[in-house]
Amino acid sequence: MEEELQNKTVLIVDDDERNRFALSNYLMLCGMNVIMAEDGREAIRILEEETTVDIILLDMMMPVMDGYETLEVLKTTDRLNNIPVIAVTAKAMKGDDVRCMEAGAWDYMAKPIDLKKCLEKIRKLTPAKQ
């Protein structure tokens, strides 16, 4: 378990159940609380009810409401615009990182996710809880 990550809450937004399962299991082993959503619309609904989310891992390519649309809602909603978002893309193309950051993401990762790098980014973006 990672002491600095214990009791931090991550919202994983990804339409692929396998990705949600693998990532959530790893983050729970590190001591994090995990909430999952299948698309951006579900993520926004969860965030409207849940006030303890410390960071969001957001897949950019999803049906219903993709990551770019979700980022737009997040950055224009006062209560949600300060939650760090790591954009995640499966078919990473040149310039995706810049496009994600311009859309409002705080950081960027390409799939398959390097779990150690993911933890480093989460640590960097979430301050220690008092």
Could you tell me the CA-to-CA distances from 87 to 2, 3, 19, 71, 129 in Å, in that order?
22, 24, 14, 9, 23
Q: Distance between the two ends of the chain, CA-based, in angstroms?
A: 18
At residue 121, does pLDDT exceed 90?
Answer: yes
List, in order of start, the domains of the chain with CATH numbers: 3-120 (3.40.50.2300)
Both structure tokens of 33: 């609380």
Q: In this predicted structure, what is the pLDDT of residue 21? A: 94
Q: In this predicted structure, what is the pLDDT of residue 5? A: 85
112-29-88 Cα angle (round to 5): 25
> Tens digits of per-residue pLDDT, 15-62?
999 999 999 999 999 999 999 999 999 999 999 998 899 999 999 999
Q: Which whole number is the average pLDDT over 85-93?
A: 85
Question: In the 8-state DSSP scheme, what is residue 85?
Answer: E
What is the percent of the chain with per-residue pLDDT over 90, rounded to a whole number? 76
How far out from the chain centre does Cα 28 lie? 14
